[in-house]
Amino acid sequence: MEKIHTTSIAIFDLTQFPIVIITCTKEQPTAQDIIEYKSKKEEIFETFTTPFVVIGDISKVKWMDADARIAYGKNMKETADKYSHLMIKTYAVVPNIIANAILKGVNLIAKPKYEQVICKSFEQAYSKALHEKDLIENLKSA
């Protein structure tokens, strides 16, 4: 399985699985970008058979129009419906106020089934994800 995947708006890094790092690379993603992102994410997540944790770094996002926010909310809900049995937790890297407000608004509507923790830095999210990784690996070896 490939360890790095890219779309027009994101890089999916699986090199530290069960930590999956998704980094948004576009400041103003469109609804079409979100559809492409969702397709790639599903292609990748379909290969997972063991629990995992996600770090979603959306620190580059400056704005999403209404159509993009709706598409992102649908994406979150569908992801939760399909993968919440394996996705232990998501850490969202959201250092700016606008992205934080966008994410909170989307969460109010999407109501994802997995736990989502908002972090102000990648380092904070990564530190928390390492703890989850240790828990997952301890469960595997038990």
Determine the pLDDT at residue 103: 63
In this prediction, what percent of the chain has a pLDDT beyond 70? 84
pLDDT at 92 over 70: yes
Give the domain range for residue 41.
4-141
86 against 134, higher pLDDT: 86
Neighbours of 45 (CB within 10 A): 17
pTM of the model as a whole = 0.85
Determine the pLDDT at residue 106: 58
**110-130: average pLDDT:** 84
Nearest Cα to Cα of residue 114 among 59, 68, 45, 62: 45
Determine the pLDDT at residue 63: 83
Could you tell me the CATH number of the domain that includes residue 134?
3.30.750.24
**1-5: average pLDDT:** 87
d(CA 97, CA 117): 15
User: Can you tell me which residue has the tokens 């620190």?
Assistant: 59
Q: Which residues of 85-124 are buried (b: 16+ CB within 10 A; e: fewer)?
A: eebbbbbbbbbeeebeebbeebeeebebebebebbeebee
Determine the pLDDT at residue 113: 63
Question: Do residues 26 and 9 touch, judged by C-beta distance below 8 A?
Answer: yes
Determine the pLDDT at residue 69: 85
pLDDT at 126 over 90: yes
Q: Mean pLDDT score of the chain, rounded to an integer?
A: 87
d(CA 101, CA 5): 28
Number of structural domains the chain divides into: 1
